Amino acid sequence: MGWTADEIPDQSGRTIVVTGANSGIGLEATRELARNGATVIMATRSTERGEDAADEIREDVPDADLRVEECDLADLESVRDFADRLADEMIDVLINNAGVMAIPRSETEDGFETQFGVNHLGHFALTGLLLENLATDEGEPARVVTVSSGVHENGEIDFDDLQGEASYDKWDAYAQSKLANVLFAYELERRFLTADMNAQSMAVHPGYANTQLQVRGPEQSGSRLRKAAMKLMNAVAAQSAEMGALPTLYAATAPEAEGGAYYGPGGFQNMRGAPERQASSDRSYDEETARRLWAVSEELTGVTYDLPEPKAEVAA
Active-site amino acid positions: 174
**d(Cα 154, Cα 132) in Å, to the nearest integer?**
34
d(CA 15, CA 6): 19
Of 191, 224, 185, nearest to 204 by C-alpha is 185
Q: Under a CB-based contact definition with an 8 Å cutoff, are residues 291 and 157 in contact? A: no
Burial of residue 81 (CB within 10 Å: 0-12, 13-18, 19+) is middle
Residue 196, amino acid: D
- Contact assessment for residue 197 and residue 219, using Cβ atoms and an 8 Å cutoff: no
- Give the H or E element holding residue 295: helix 287-301
Count CB atoms within 10 A of the CB of residue 224: 10
C-alpha–C-alpha distance, residues 120 and 296, integer Å: 12
Q: Which of 92, 96, 79, 84 is nearest to 45 (CA)?
A: 79
Cβ–Cβ under 8 Å, residues 149 and 214: no
